[in-house]
Amino acid sequence: MVITRPSVDQIWVWLDNVPDPEIPVISLVDLGVIRDVAWVNDVLEVTVTPTYSGCPATSIINLDIETALRDHGVKYLKLKRQLSPAWTTEWLSERGRAKLEDYGIAPPRPAGGPERCPQCKSKNVQRVSQFGSTPCKAQWRCSDCLEPFDYFKCI
């Protein structure tokens, strides 16, 4: 019997269709948590890194990866956790950053704060709190349109 293995490129395309459980407008690939996809004989190994060590989405992310790949007929799957190098917001894709802003979340910047309000684009913004609705976000507010918004923390 010949087992046909989908190509690694194909797997990446499938994974790019798995949404982040907390921010469904970006995919797991956009988020940068999938570090490697490789066939080891007939077992597909997917290497995943957590965003924050205690982020409850981590186990959901693993479950979603497994479900998606099984739906595509991948039978033997192994998920590997990789801690080092530690996840950094630099791994967020350009496309992911644009989608975040469209969704109302200011994308991370090395300067440590958002460039502008994701709603009205004003640069007149202030920090409300270092932590937001999830470990990866902080709370900011626009001083012009007065809307509060999430900022994706830069780590």
Contacts with other proteins, residue ranges (CB under 8 A): 50, 52-56, 83-87, 128-135, 139, 153, 155
Structure-block tokens of residue 21: 């459980």
Nearer to other proteins, 62 or 139 (CB): 139
Nearer to other proteins, 99 or 137 (CB): 137
Nearer to other proteins, 14 or 32 (CB): 32
Enumerate the H helices of 7-143 as residue ranges.
Answer: 8-15, 28-31, 57-71, 94-103
Sign of the CA dihedral with 119 first, then 121, 126, and 127 last: positive
Shortest distance, CB of residue 10 to other proteins, whole angstroms? 30
With CA atoms as reference, report the closest residue to 29 among 146, 149, 37.
Answer: 37
Sign of the CA dihedral with 129 first, then 88, 36, and 100 last: positive
Shortest distance, CB of residue 113 to other proteins, whole angstroms? 13
Nearer to other proteins, 5 or 35 (CB): 35
Shortest distance, CB of residue 44 to other proteins, whole angstroms? 23
Shortest distance, CB of residue 71 to other proteins, whole angstroms? 25
Greatest C-alpha distance within the chain: 66
